[in-house]
C-alpha cells in the first residue's frame, strides 16, 4: 500500500532527539489518520544514532533507517531518501526538533488539496543568533529570490513538502539541498509556494553548519543556474563569449594594421604596430576568445556523450 506521507529526516549525531521526534511524528499521524513512513538517514553519525534508529524501527514498523558509511552531507542523504520514499507526499524535516511535526497536516493539505508541487516552510520568527544567523540568512535569501525568480522567503528551511513525483524527478547532489525549489522549477514543477511554520529552539546538541555555508550557498547558486541553463548546450555560452572576444580582438588588430598601411602609403612616419598597447590587448582578446570557443567545443563533446543527454521529465501521456 502506498502511504499518504513519507517523512524524510536526514541526521548527523542527533541520537538524543530521535526518540522524541519519532514519537511526536507518530502522534500527529495517528491523530490525523494518515498512513505514513518515516525514513531516518544516518549520515555517518558517531554518537550512537544508528543504534537508536535500530531500536525505534524494531518498535514501530513505519520507521525505516538508511545508514551511510561516512558523512556525505545533507544533499546525499536527501537524494537517497527521495529515491527510497513511497509516499504520495514527501515531507522533509531536520532531526534537531527545531521543526515542528505539528506542521505536517497543513503542509500535506497544500500539496494534496491545493495542488502545489512544492511547499517550503518559512520560519518568519526565528530564535537563532541575530548577528550570525538571521542577518546573513536574510541577505542570502534575498539574493536567491532575485536570482531564481521564486518568491519564497526561506530557501534553506529544512521543513518542506513535495508531491511524490517531484522528488523522483530531481537530483540533489553536492550541497544543492539549499536550492531544491530552483532545481524543481528547472525540472518543470512550477507550482511552488511557502507556508509560515513554527521555529523552535534547539534542545539537544549543536548546529552542524557554520558561517561558510553562506559563502558556499552563493557559489552553488551560480553553479546550478549555469548548469540548468547551459548544461546541455555549453557551446551556446562559451562559443558566444569566445566569438565575441575574438571579433573584438581581431577588429582592433585589423584597425592597427590598416592604420599602419595607410601611414606607409602616405610616407608618414609611424610607430611599429607592436609598440602600441592596443596590439597586445587585441592579441590577448583573440587568444582568450579562441580558448573560450575551444572550451565550448569540448563541453559540447562531453554533453553529447553523456548518458543523460536525452533525459526529460514527461508529465503525462495519452
Q: How confident is the model at residue 224 (pLDDT cuts 50, 70, 90)?
A: low
Query: Looking only at Cα atoms, what is the longest distance across the chain?
Result: 99
100-120 pLDDT, tens digit per residue, is 999 999 999 999 999 999 999
283-318 pLDDT, tens digit per residue, is 999 999 999 999 888 887 876 665 555 454 455 555
Beta strand 118-122 pairing with 160-163: antiparallel
Is residue 15 within 8 A of residue 45, CB to CB? The reply is: yes
Is residue 76 within 8 A of residue 180, CB to CB? The reply is: no
Which H or E element spans position 192?
A: strand 192-196
Placement of cell 572576444 in the chain: 245
Is residue 235 within 8 A of residue 297, CB to CB? The reply is: yes
Q: Which three cell numbers stand for residue 316?
A: 503525462
Checking if the pLDDT of 209 tops 60, the result is: no
The predicted pLDDT at position 237 comes to: 85
> d(Cα 174, Cα 172) in Å, to the nearest integer?
7
Nearest-CA neighbor of 159 among 108, 209, 112? 108
Angle value at C-alpha 95, between 115 and 63, nearest 5 degrees: 75
CATH 3.90.550.10 for domain 5-230: yes
> d(Cα 275, Cα 258) in Å, to the nearest integer?
15
pTM of the model: 0.72
Amino acid at each position: 500500500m502506498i502511504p499518504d506521507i513519507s517523512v524524510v529526516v536526514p541526521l548527523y549525531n542527533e541520537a538524543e532527539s530521535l526518540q522524541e521526534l519519532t514519537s511526536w511524528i507518530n502522534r500527529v499521524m495517528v491523530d490525523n489518520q494518515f498512513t505514513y513512513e518515516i525514513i531516518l538517514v544516518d549520515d555517518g553519525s558517531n554518537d550512537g544514532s544508528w543504534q537508536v534508529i535500530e531500536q525505534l524501527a524494531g518498535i514501530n514498523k513505519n520507521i525505516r533507517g538508511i545508514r551511510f558509511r561516512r558523512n556525505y552531507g545533507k544533499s546525499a542523504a536527501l537524494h537517497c531518501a527521495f529515491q527510497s520514499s513511497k509516499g504520495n507526499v514527501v515531507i522533509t524535516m531536520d532531526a534537531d526538533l527545531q521543526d515542528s511535526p505539528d506542521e505536517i497536516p497543513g503542509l500535506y493539505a497544500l500539496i494534496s488539496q491545493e495542488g502545489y508541487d512544492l511547499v517550503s516552510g518559512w520560519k518568519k520568527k526565528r530564535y537563532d543568533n541575530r548577528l550570525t544567523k538571521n542577518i546573513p540568512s536574510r541577505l542570502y535569501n534575498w539574493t536567491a529570490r532575485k536570482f531564481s525568480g521564486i518568491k519564497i522567503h526561506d530557501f534553506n528551511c529544512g521543513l518542506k513538502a513535495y508531491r511524490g513525483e517531484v522528488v523522483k524527478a530531481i537530483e540533489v547532489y553536492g550541497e544543492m539541498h539549499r536550492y531544491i525549489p530552483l532545481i524543481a522549477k528547472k525540472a518543470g514543477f512550477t507550482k511552488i509556494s511557502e507556508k509560515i511554520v513554527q521555529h523552535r529552539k534547539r534542545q539537544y546538541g549543536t548546529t552542524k553548519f557554520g558561517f561558510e555555508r553562506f559563502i558556499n550557498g552563493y557559489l552553488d547558486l551560480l553553479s546550478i543556474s549555469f548548469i540548468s541553463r547551459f548544461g546541455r548546450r555549453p557551446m551556446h555560452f562559451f562559443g558566444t563569449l569566445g566569438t565575441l572576444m575574438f571579433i573584438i580582438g581581431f577588429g582592433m588588430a585589423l584597425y592597427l594594421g590598416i592604420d599602419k598601411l595607410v601611414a606607409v602609403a602616405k610616407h608618414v612616419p609611424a610607430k611599429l604596430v607592436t609598440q602600441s598597447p592596443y596590439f597586445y590587448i587585441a592579441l590577448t582578446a583573440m587568444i582568450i576568445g579562441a580558448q573560450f570557443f575551444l572550451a565550448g567545443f569540448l563541453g559540447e563533446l562531453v554533453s553529447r556523450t553523456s548518458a543523460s543527454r536525452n533525459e526529460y521529465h514527461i508529465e503525462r501521456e495519452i
